[in-house]
């Protein structure tokens, strides 16, 4: 069995009034929906994570509109939702239990250089086979995005870094 993990696709990132606004990511969201649809059709377990800042009444505040999954994504009620309070989706969450029996994960999300990188590193240390869908990941800028992918590939060469068209054939 395989799982698709969608890291922190939250409204905070697309809120123009937020300090964390990442810009127009409509193309990445479109591709992410194609990825979700593809993985769902292949029987993958679909897991979303959300990042929450404890004791915040502003950015990433628990139960706020900004910590909800971006509504244009093809999320279903049957999908798993993991709320996390630190960078790693593995830290003090039930993600590990949700991944029991799963050997291969596909990862996409926001921010590539922070929470996406963290899940990839932690999953690597747990011996998962990992594919990151680069054009379904978002950073604040291209330089950071490119460096993160380069560094992940250099330090963990077994990780597959693909674009959407390379996985959907």
Is residue 57 scored above 90 in pLDDT? no
CB atoms within 10 A of CB 126: 12
Q: Rounded to two decimals, what is the model's pTM?
A: 0.97
Instruction: Please name the CATH architecture into which domain 2-167 falls.
Output: 3-Layer(aba) Sandwich (3.40)
State the DSSP string of 106-135: EEEEE-IIIIIHHHHHHHHHTT-EEEEEEE
pLDDT tens digits for range 11-29: 999 999 999 999 999 999 9
Q: Identify whether the C-beta of residue 163 lies closer than 8 Å to the C-beta of residue 124.
A: no
Instruction: Indicate the Cα dihedral angle 50, 53, 92, 111, nearest 10°.
Output: 50
Nearest Cα residue to 85 out of 58, 109, 57, 62: 62
Q: Rounded to 5 degrees, what are φ and ψ at 42?
A: -95, 5
Residue with tokens 């409509």: 26
Nearest Cα residue to 123 out of 26, 47, 15: 47
How far is residue 13 from each of residues 29, 50, 109, 129, 139, measured CA to CA in Å?
12, 12, 11, 28, 10
pLDDT tens digits for range 75-107: 999 999 999 999 999 999 999 999 999 999 999
Domain ranges of the chain: 2-167
Nearest Cα residue to 136 out of 168, 169, 104, 162: 162
CA 3, 140, 117, 129 torsion: positive or negative?
Answer: positive
CA 100, 102, 107, 112 torsion: positive or negative?
Answer: positive
pLDDT confidence of 66, banded at 50, 70, 90?
very high
């Amino acid at each position: 069995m395989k799982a698709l993990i969608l890291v922190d696709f939250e409204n905070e990132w697309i809120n123009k009034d937020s300090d964390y606004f990442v810009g127009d990511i409509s193309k990445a969201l479109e591709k992410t929906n194609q990825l979700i649809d593809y993985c769902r059709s292949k029987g993958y377990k679909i897991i979303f994570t959300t990042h929450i800042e404890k004791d915040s009444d502003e950015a990433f505040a628990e139960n706020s509109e900004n910590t909800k999954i971006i509504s244009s994504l093809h999320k279903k009620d049957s999908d798993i939702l993991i709320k996390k309070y630190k960078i790693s989706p593995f830290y003090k969450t039930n993600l590990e239990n949700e991944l029991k029996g799963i050997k291969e994960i596909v990862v996409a999300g926001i921010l590539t250089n922070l929470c996406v990188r963290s899940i990839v590193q932690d999953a690597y240390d747990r011996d998962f086979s990992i594919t990151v869908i680069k054009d379904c990941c978002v950073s604040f800028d291209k330089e950071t995005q490119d460096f993160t992918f380069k560094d992940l590939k250099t330090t963990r060469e077994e990780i597959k870094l693909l674009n959407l068209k390379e996985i959907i054939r």
